[in-house]
Amino acid sequence: MALKDKDNRQIDKNKTFIQSLGHALDGIKRLILEERNFRFDLIIAFLAICLGVICQIKINEWVWLFAAFFSVIGSEVLNSIIENVVDLIVGHHYDFLAKRAKDIAAGGVLMSALFAVIIGSLIFIPRFIQLLK
């Protein structure tokens, strides 16, 4: 691993799977610590999983539920990446194209969240209706 002369920061490609895994876990830790919306998404996913267990949903419903979770979480990760790269490029000043890139990325998260709401509704609303009868 090649290191800069002034510090111990890695500048070359990862040499081992363990090294790559460590960086990936660092990234997940950053998301949890620094991204409020990512934490919110995890909480909602956890609550939906609890509701799925309580309602004893079927395996195909679990598949759709997890597809919805990972759609939202994945788009949230991409949104965070875009925000960080844009901030790195433009610094602390306003740029119309930077705003546009961030808004489009946020729109992608919103579309994923709407997908998740639709999936959750299709799975859970019929069960709630049955309980009310």
Asked whether residue 100 is assigned to any structural domain, the reply reads yes
Alpha helices in 16-56 (DSSP H): 17-34, 36-55
Asked whether residue 10 is assigned to any structural domain, the reply reads no
Asked whether residue 27 is assigned to any structural domain, the reply reads yes
pLDDT at residue 1, as a whole number: 44
Asked whether residue 1 is assigned to any structural domain, the reply reads no
Report yes or no: 112 and 71 within 8 Å, Cβ to Cβ. Answer: yes
Report the domain count for the chain.
1
* Nearest-angstrom CA–CA distance, 61 and 123: 7
10 has pLDDT over 70? yes
Nearest Cα to Cα of residue 87 among 98, 96, 78, 76: 98
Asked whether residue 12 is assigned to any structural domain, the reply reads no
CATH number of 29's domain: 1.10.287.3610
Percentage of residues of the chain with pLDDT beyond 70: 95
Q: Which domain holds residue 65?
A: 17-132
Asked whether residue 5 is assigned to any structural domain, the reply reads no
Of 1-5, 77-81, 93-97, 118-122, give the lowest mean pLDDT range.
Answer: 1-5
Residue 2's pLDDT band (cuts 50, 70, 90): low
Give 82's contacts (C-beta < 8 A, 6+ positions apart).
101, 102, 105
Helices 96-132 and 59-90: angle between axes, nearest 10 degrees: 160
Residue 104's pLDDT band (cuts 50, 70, 90): very high
- pLDDT tens profile 33-83: 999 999 999 999 999 999 999 999 999 999 999 999 999 999 999 999 999
121 has pLDDT over 80? yes
